[in-house]
Amino acid sequence: MSAIQPTWTTERIELLKIHFAAGLTCREIAERIGVSRNAVIGKISRLNLMRDKAGPARKERSGEPRKRAASRLRRQILRAISVEETRAEEEPIANGHRCSLFELSKQTCRWPLSTPGAADFCFCGNPPLEGLPYCPRHSRLAYRISVR
């Protein structure tokens, strides 16, 4: 009959403290000690171990791909909205195409009208700008340019 060995022996706890102080990640500690990452996280929490804010520097992810994707989307939105800039600002939004939630598609503006749950709640339903979920007028409301 084999006895079940405890997960946290005194040797493992000492190794955990040493690796934690060295700045290893929970995954790295788990691999070296031979337990799961979640077990390491739980034990660190129970031992009230904390890293100081000025601790070992971590590798930060490069934000370049995200910035490029965001700027590409921003250019697309600005291009689509600038085409519609020739229309008068005070021109009311024509809502002759109102539709329900079940009628929404990629060919309908998804701007909600009224309050959800109200009897007159519906969506705009006008044709949207290409690649965007809203019609030109609602796109202008949704994608405002912020000046920093």
Taking the complete model, does pTM exceed 0.85, yes or no? Answer: no
CA distance 78 to 25: 42
**β-bridge mates for residue 104, sequence order:** none
Per residue in 80-132, pLDDT (tens digit) is 666 555 443 545 666 677 888 888 888 898 888 888 888 888 888 888 888 88
Specify the DSSP element, H or E, that contains 139: helix 136-142
Per residue in 6-21, pLDDT (tens digit) is 889 999 999 999 999 9
CA distance 34 to 15: 11
Half-sphere exposure of residue 16: CA atoms within 13 angstroms, side-chain side: 26
* One-letter identity of residue 146: S
